[in-house]
């Protein structure tokens, strides 16, 4: 997939199997432990999903000042390789997110998040900060103790 200069692309290497990382994105009980756009004042999110193409998900991040609801629909799922979904929040509607999982070795996975269709550079930057905080939480709150 060719990227647009306005796309947000975040790539990280995680010290875990591709399956472990994929499960962290597909199982609500695990997603709730890390899918939170702040590194401090952490509170588990409320996550519901129907993890199938055409299935919907909702995430409520319980922020210090108020709850933030995010929701969308899964548009593609290739088991342990790719997840694609729409992404809507109070500041963006029907943007697109694609997650790619590439096994580097049995316990190392390259992960790439591509988020597209931002209405402004400011919202793109906010989402960049948010996604990076979420991925930091994933690494420190789930993958560090292999709680998956």
Taking domain 8-145, whether its CATH number is 3.30.530.20 is answered by yes
Q: Which two structure tokens, joined as six digits, stand for 135? A: 């991925």
Cα 120 to its chain centre, rounded Å, is: 20
Residue spans of the domains in the chain: they are: 8-145
Residue 3 predicted with pLDDT over 70: no
Q: Which residues pair with 59 in a beta bridge?
A: 47, 70
Distance CA 140, CA 40 (A): 12
CB 132 within 8 A of CB 124: no
Residues 81-101 have pLDDT tens digits of 999 999 999 999 999 999 999
pTM reported for the whole predicted model: 0.92
| pLDDT one-digit tens code per residue, 24-71 | 999 999 999 999 877 677 688 999 999 999 999 999 998 888 899 999
> Encoding tokens for residue 132?
């990076």
Token pair, residue 125, equals 């930057």
Task: Provide the pairing of β-strand 92-105 with 67-78.
Answer: unpaired
pLDDT at position 146 = 60
């Amino acid at each position: 997939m060719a990227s647009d200069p306005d796309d947000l692309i975040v790539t990280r290497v995680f010290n875990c199997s591709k399956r472990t990382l994929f499960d962290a994105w597909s199982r609500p009980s695990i997603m709730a432990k890390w899918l939170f756009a702040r590194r401090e004042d952490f509170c588990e999110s409320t996550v519901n999903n129907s993890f199938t193409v055409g299935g919907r998900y909702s995430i409520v991040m319980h922020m210090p000042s108020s709850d933030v609801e995010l929701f969308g629909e899964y548009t593609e799922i290739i088991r342990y390789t790719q997840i694609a979904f729409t992404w809507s929040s109070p500041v963006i509607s029907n943007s697109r997110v694609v997650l790619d999982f590439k096994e580097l070795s049995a316990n190392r996975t390259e992960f790439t998040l591509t988020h597209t269709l931002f209405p402004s550079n400011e919202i793109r930057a906010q989402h960049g900060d948010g996604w990076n905080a979420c991925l930091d939480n994933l690494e420190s709150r789930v993958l560090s103790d292999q709680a998956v």
